[in-house]
Amino acid sequence: MAILSYGPLLLGLVVIGLGSFVAVAIQRLYFHPLKNVPGPKLAAITSAYEFYYDCILIGKLHFKINELHEKYGPIVRISPREVHIRDPDFFDKVYNVTNKFSKDTFYYRFLDSSDGALATETAELHRIRRKAMNRFFSADAIRRLSLPIAANVEKLCKRLDEFKQSGKPVNLSNAFRCLVTDNTTDYVLPHGYNMLDNEDFASTFHKQTKMFVIASLWHRYFPFILEVLMRTPRELLKFAPPGSLEAYDFQMGIVRQTLEVAKSEKYSDDNVAAGIFNSDIPESEKRPMRVVHDTRNLVGAGAETTATTLEMIVWKVSNDPAILNKLKDELKTAAETDGLTSIDTLQKLPYLSAVIKEGLRRSISVSGRMPRFDPRNPLVYKNYVLPPRTIVSMDIPGVSLNPDIFPDPLKFDPERWLRPGEKERSEKYFVPYGRGQRICIGKEFANVSLYLSVSNLFHRYNIEWYQTTDHDLEMVHEMFAPFPGPDSNGLRAYIR
């Protein structure tokens, strides 16, 4: 009887809820400033559309957006407040050094906090935060860093020699992630992680990292998930899936080392974490937990993206005898006068450079969209006037895999960077690191890692694949970086 007495109240609440939903739907469809932008009506009404493809289907929104562009054209409304544009010639309008577009903090919430430079909303604050790190990632600074990176490449080669002698297959996907993680943590933190010493190249850790990325997607919509995960008692993780404890310790290690630097009476200047505290940015920007977000983002973003590019290059080159032989011939000649450790020498090799550029283009290691908004002015695209604060996103695959710019875009073709005419067009639309004020700060760092790794791997070894196919590298889930399906075991090979 008590329940029945509340019946009218419950019915009233349902009616109010439905009425509110209908009112919002009508406003967003027929009276919203974006009402004329084409796209599915459900996406215009509710962000549940985005959530479904992002979280329920796990990283499928990218593929759905591709379908929408095929149906509706170069501009599509993908949520009540966001439009996505696929037009390579508009890329520089959104991402350039002169505009002061802001980042969409909702989208970048997957990074846990907007306190880090990578997820900072305003251009002004981003400039301040990035200033503390710029000198560590300049071309000159990274050139000096080439010796420690070369030492890690040599360490990887010694591990590969062990597999060569034993005749056992090696998981190169995991090996590359260990290499790049060591390169990054050695530079960003006081103490590197020495992951190359791990017997099986931390296989369970890398599997669990993907689960952490999935949790980050959910955190975008439920911004408490990552905090709950990081506050989970370490003892409980012993009962979690294999790799969970290692992933937890990895993240907490970054936090611990950064906080230890903050407590130091005198900061050294030999790692990025210390350099941030030692910089002349405002003291409010040196809050220890704010700097933690910078160090975590540098380590996380740098490792996955560069390793993905390495995978693509090694897989594609090894499977094309013409490319492989031409690259080996160039490296053999260079090695006669240089031990393939001088970055200045390597960057002057035309075919090696073409291979690396093609790997950066084809791997689309940053596959996610990059939402921006102009806080003050409308943005005009063709006949569409998008009011101030409209979220506008584009993505690197929309440029790098555009068949009008790069014919047969899925083909791995280093010659496109060497052929007259085609070379100039390719360079114009070469955007693997983004463009503008917020171009990837680790661009030079990644390039040095790629040159040293690719040159030494192909000069020293022949690779014979073991139970590996294109499917093991194919992007099945897009979670800001491309991820293969759950049945992928990565690139496995015999080293000869």
pLDDT along the chain (496 residues), means of 10: 60 75 89 96 96 97 98 98 98 94 95 91 96 94 92 98 97 98 96 95 89 93 91 86 87 95 80 94 96 95 93 98 98 88 93 98 97 97 97 98 97 97 95 95 96 98 97 96 95 98
Q: How many CB atoms lie within 10 A of CB 321?
A: 9
Three-class secondary structure assignment of the chain: CHHHHCHHHHHHHHHHHHHHHHHHHHHHHHHCCCCCCCCCHHHHHCCHHHHHHHHHCCCCHHHHHHHHHHHHCCEEEEECCEEEECCHHHHHHHCCCCCCCEECCCHHHHHCCCCCHHHCCCHHHHHHHHHHHHCCCCHHHHHHHHHHHHHHHHHHHHHHHHHHHHCCCEEHHHHHHHHHHHHHHHHHCCCCCCHHHCCCCCHHHHHHHHHHHHHHHHHHHCCCHHHHHHCCCHHHHHHCCCCHHHHHHHHHHHHHHHHHHHHCCCCCCCCHHHHHHCCCCCHHHHCHHHHHHHHHHHHHHHHHHHHHHHHHHHHHHHCCHHHHHHHHHHHHHHHCCCCCCCHHHHCCCHHHHHHHHHHHHHHCCCCCECCEECCCCCEEECCEEECCCCEEECECHHHHCCCCCCCCCCCCCHHHHCCCCHHHHHHHCCCCCCCCCCCCCCHHHHHHHHHHHHHHHHHHCCEEECCCCHHHCCCCEEECEEECCCCCCCCEEEEC
Q: What is the pLDDT of residue 4?
A: 52
- 192: closest CA among 148, 146, 142, 157? 148
Residue 267 backbone phi and psi in degrees, to 5? -85, 135
Cβ burial, residue 162 (10 Å; 0-12/13-18/19+): exposed
| 243 within 8 A of 204, measured Cβ to Cβ | yes
Sign of CA dihedral 417, 420, 424, 429: negative
* Cut 0.85: pTM above it: yes
Q: Can you tell me which residue has the tokens 């505290």?
A: 277
Phi-psi region of 252 (alpha: psi -120 to 50; beta: other; left: phi over 0): alpha
Class of the CATH domain delimited by 81-495: mainly alpha
Alpha carbon dihedral 140, 141, 142, 147, in 10-degree steps, equals 100
Structure tokens at 465: 């694949």
How is the beta sheet containing 82-85 ordered, strand by strand?
A: 75-79, 82-85, 391-393, 372-373, 102-103
Chain centroid to CA 208:
17
Structure tokens at 409: 């875009």
CA angle 106, 110, 113 (to 5 degrees): 75
Sign of CA dihedral 383, 388, 393, 394: positive
172-188 helix and 443-460 helix, angle to the nearest 10 degrees? 140
Strand pairing partners for 393?
84
| 159 within 8 A of 196, measured Cβ to Cβ | yes
CA angle 152, 155, 159 (to 5 degrees): 140
Q: Residue 174 and residue 155: Cα distance in Å, rounded?
A: 15
Say which amino acid occupies 438.
Answer: R
Q: Residue 101 and residue 402: Cα distance in Å, rounded?
A: 25
| 221 within 8 A of 291, measured Cβ to Cβ | no
Q: What is the pLDDT of residue 267?
A: 67
- 153: closest CA among 352, 359, 449? 449
Say which amino acid occupies 319.
Answer: N
